[in-house]
Structure 1
Amino acid sequence: MHTPTPYPIRPRRVSFDWRDTPLHWIPDEPVATHVINVLHLLLPAGERWFVKVFKEALPLVTDPELLGDVKGFMGQEATHSVQHSYVLDHLAEQGLDTHPYTRHVDWMFDVLLGDEPPAGLPLSRREWLRFRLSLIAAIEQFTAVLGDWILRADGLDRADPDAVMLDLLRWHGAEEVEHRAVAFDMYQHAGGSGLPRYLRRVYGMAVTAPVLLWLWAFGAAYLIRHDPQLRGRLGYTLREHNKAVRKGLLPTWGELGAAIPRYLRRSYHPSQEGSLRNAVAYLATSPAARAAAGAVARAAVS
């Protein structure tokens, strides 16, 4: 059953100026910087794929309120994809080329999870669409958890990070909390019914969790290995990662892991994740979101 958002979900046409953002935007914390930077590697292709799959599923939506939320979700995800792509351009300008990694991410979303089942898998087009919707719902479980974490991450504030990067992450995180239930509701609406729908949801999480962990570890290792300022003096290790966790610069393993059993409860709904109040409060104060809202208001009266 769809749980309507208390107000319309709409994209905010934000922009960010990266000219003064250093490569290590958390000072003296290259591991934490690059673990978070993996978002920029995954999200441009991933969120374009979300939009593409949802476009395919739109004709299946018969609930007008859900349809409005889905279209708002698609607008937000498209904006996220564009803004994280600009960060990749900024990293390249600083001597960190991400193309050798992101081309594999592009292949995963465009080919492996494309319009047709890979390797001739005997799945109907309807079942392949339902499976991909289950993957998006599972991914959005983690983005909601990460979004809520970034809004509460006092450790990042104490580390004096680059203000523009922190605003990008918190604007994005706040929108993830804002639309936390849309992908789940879309799957529940278009993913069939009864036990098969639930089992497909479980399978979607069973695929998503280990793949995300693998992509994140290899992404962080790639960024650290190719960081021109480190020149191979540091590697990505669990020990270094956990040091950043203890400083409050990264979410704990417990926070991330606990998201899985919550999601697998038959009675679960993502409206239980995070604080919508905190998300809305940040969006009201975010420099980028405020600037975007001002631009819309000026255009409306001109």
Structure 2
Amino acid sequence: MDQATSHPMDDFPVRQLTFDMQRVGDHNVVWSRTCPEFSVFINALALHVPYFERYLIHTMRTVKDQIGDPQLRRDMSALIGQEAHHAKNFTLFNQALANRYPKVGQHDSDAREDFARRARIDSTKHLVGFTAGYETFTFLAGMIILDNHDKWFADADPVIKAMWVWHQVEEVEHGAVAFEVYRQLYGQHEWYRKWMVLKALTHIALQTLKTYPHMTKEEGWLRNPFNAAHKLGFCVLMLLRLLRAALPVFRKDYHPRRHPMATTKQNPIQIAWRRFQGRGGDVLEIDREKMAKMMGVPAPV
């Protein structure tokens, strides 16, 4: 079985990809024509993500010497590499968002300062627990987003689409690392892991609900009350969808590797993307024709 179709969490690589945000510009940040409200929702949710990713990197570096398992240490190094490139690309995208939305620059600055402060003051247990809790949702979101590609991504800006597909594939790949680090260091405190999952979801929800209404207002979506209810309701339903997807996480025998979408029965986009990229394919822009080529299906008319 080749690497593309083996378990995605086995020996995952670091891919040094940089997406051309100059090709996007602030005029095209509502990048999904298939579902514009999804693009605004995920833009709002992800605004603070690069700063969490720096927090994660700090956490992994802080505890790496305490991990005896050589395979897990290798995975921690790969996780640090992947997240460093995620943070770099999404920080650049945040600049485009700040150019379009008046309050986003301040929201971005607040998130950066908040995570920098947390990294300084959090105990080691809290660093590891919150990182594992938060990574629960980047992992779940990765699977949800890829599973709904046709609904949310089919007609989208090719650079932003490519960036999100890359990001979500890699979030699934390293989706078990923070969990396994927590289990090795604090596995006897199962209650604390579950508490950190709830704390991470609360943080994600509050950050999203802080920014999403501002973005929708600037897009002119709140002028009509019926349209406003639909757009704001979309955000709430998406957050509830994350909560529902997280319910198995509270089982005592939970492990990310056993999630059906992270096995060889995984989403076919993951398999196709890893195979295409691994063979040298250009994944920095993905339009409909390239997605069809990647998936081995006829190009859309």
* Same topology, TM > 0.5: yes
Map of 1:125 onto structure 2: none
Q: CA, structure 1 residues 30+57, in 2 after alignment: closer, same or farther (shift >3 Å)?
A: same
Post-superposition Cα deviations, 1:96-131, rounded to whole Å, max 9, x if no partner, equal 5622101221222111x22324xxxxxxxxxx2112
Please say if residues 57 and 83 of structure 2, whose CA atoms lie closer than 8 Å, have aligned partners that are also in contact.
Answer: yes
Post-superposition Cα deviations, 1:12-62, rounded to whole Å, max 9, x if no partner, equal 111212334313212385432211102441111110110011111111111
Displacement of 1:177: 0.7
Please say if residues 135 and 208 of structure 1, whose CA atoms lie closer than 8 Å, have aligned partners that are also in contact.
Answer: yes
Displacement of 1:9: 2.3
- Separation (CA, whole Å) in 2 of partners of 1:61 and 1:16: 33
Displacement of 1:243: 5.3
Map of 1:142 onto structure 2: 137
Tell me the SS of whatever aligns to 2:21: coil
Tell me the C-alpha RMSD between the 2 structures.
3.0
Post-superposition Cα deviations, 1:237-290, rounded to whole Å, max 9, x if no partner, equal 563244589xxxx85734x22233211111110113323543243233369x83
Displacement of 1:92: 3.7
Q: CA, structure 1 residues 92+207, in 2 after alignment: closer, same or farther (shift >3 Å)?
A: closer
Unaligned runs of 5+ in 2: 1-6, 285-301
Tell me the SS of whatever aligns to 1:144: helix
Matched, 1:230 2:213: no
- Separation (CA, whole Å) in 2 of partners of 1:6 and 1:132: 22
**Greater Cα offset, 166-175 or 101-110:** 101-110
Q: CA, structure 1 residues 13+221, in 2 after alignment: closer, same or farther (shift >3 Å)?
A: same
- Separation (CA, whole Å) in 2 of partners of 1:282 and 1:251: 25
Percent of aligned positions with the same letter in both sequences? 22
Map of 2:291 onto structure 1: none
Matched, 1:178 2:168: no
Q: CA, structure 1 residues 190+91, in 2 after alignment: closer, same or farther (shift >3 Å)?
A: same
- Separation (CA, whole Å) in 2 of partners of 1:66 and 1:207: 25
Tell me the SS of whatever aligns to 2:196: helix
Map of 2:92 onto structure 1: 86
Q: CA, structure 1 residues 143+33, in 2 after alignment: closer, same or farther (shift >3 Å)?
A: same
Matched, 1:275 2:267: no
Map of 1:240 onto structure 2: 231
From 256, 260, 274, give the equivalent of 2:246. Answer: 260
Displacement of 1:172: 0.4
Q: Which runs of 4+ in 1 moved over 6 A?
A: none
Map of 2:293 onto structure 1: none
Tell me the SS of whatever aligns to 2:246: helix
- Separation (CA, whole Å) in 2 of partners of 1:97 and 1:231: 17
Unaligned runs of 5+ in 1: 118-127, 294-302
Please say if residues 12 and 292 of structure 1, whose CA atoms lie closer than 8 Å, have aligned partners that are also in contact.
Answer: no
Map of 1:285 onto structure 2: 276
Map of 1:209 onto structure 2: 201
What TM-score does the superposition give when structure 2 sets the normalisation length? 0.78
- Separation (CA, whole Å) in 1 of partners of 2:43 and 2:274: 22
Q: What amino acid is the match of 1:146? A: A
